[in-house]
């Protein structure tokens, strides 16, 4: 079944992340971002696509620092509430009750319950009239010890941790009409 070009997101899984920044006064900011990806492994680069205008984008441009917090089940709902339209200078992390912990190499805080953290500095950006693609140099990446068992393995499968609100593996669509309804095409 062919879909409209922008509908690929219905079957292309995206991570749930919260990008944390600080403004020029040091006030933390947080917003969910799913358009995040590594660039040509093993390069220590990460790309984040941002709509215009965003407080997060402004803060990254002002300070050149950000943290990509990979979010899972324990903090998913609170993390998604950081998307509300808070005015500039408001600490969304406090407003939604997300506990933080200091980052190791940048000023923005980490979300304490995140599965892992990627601390980065802005290396370059590609700007369009509708979006900006930010390329960050990774200074530190770390998995949260909460999700590592004594034997060094993750306590849960990464898909379970990263996509708590997507369909579970094995769900099937029984017919075309159901798929079209699910994709809001009908």
Q: Give CATH superfamily name and number for 5-182.
A: Electron Transport, Fmn-binding Protein; Chain A (2.30.110.10)
Q: What is the pLDDT along the chain (186 residues), one digit of tens a residue?
A: 888 888 877 777 778 899 999 999 999 999 999 899 999 989 999 999 999 989 999 999 999 999 999 988 778 889 999 999 999 999 999 999 999 999 999 999 999 999 999 999 999 999 999 999 999 999 999 999 988 889 988 886 666 666 544 433 333 433 445 444 444 433
Residue 22: phi, psi to the nearest 5? -130, 150
- Taking the C-alpha atoms of residue 168 and residue 5, their distance in angstroms, rounded to an integer, is 25
Query: Residue 176 class from Cβ within 10 Å (0-12 exposed, 13-18 middle, 19+ buried)?
Result: exposed
User: Are 115 and 72 spatial neighbours (Cβ–Cβ below 8 Å)?
Assistant: yes
Q: What is the pTM of this model?
A: 0.84
The full set of domain ranges for the chain reads: 5-182
Give the pLDDT confidence of 104-114 residue by residue, as tens digits: 999 999 999 99
């Amino acid at each position: 079944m062919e879909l409209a070009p922008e509908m690929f997101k219905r079957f292309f899984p995206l991570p749930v992340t919260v990008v944390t920044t600080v403004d020029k006064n040091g006030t933390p900011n947080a917003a969910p971002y799913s358009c995040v990806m590594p660039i040509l492994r093993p390069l220590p680069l990460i790309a984040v696509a941002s709509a215009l205008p965003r407080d997060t984008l402004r803060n990254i441009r002002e300070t050149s620092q950000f943290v990509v917090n990979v979010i899972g089940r324990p903090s998913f709902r609170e993390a998604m509430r950081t998307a509300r339209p808070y005015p500039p200078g408001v600490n969304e992390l406090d407003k939604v009750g997300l506990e933080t912990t200091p980052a190791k190499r940048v000023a923005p805080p980490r979300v304490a319950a995140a599965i892992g953290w990627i601390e980065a500095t802005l290396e370059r950006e590609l700007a369009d009239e509708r979006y900006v693609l930010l390329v960050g140099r990774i200074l530190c990446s770390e998995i949260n010890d909460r999700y590592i068992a004594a034997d060094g393995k993750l306590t849960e499968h990464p898909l379970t941790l990263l996509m708590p609100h997507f369909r579970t593996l094995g769900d099937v669509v029984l017919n075309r009409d159901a798929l079209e309804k699910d994709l809001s095409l009908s």
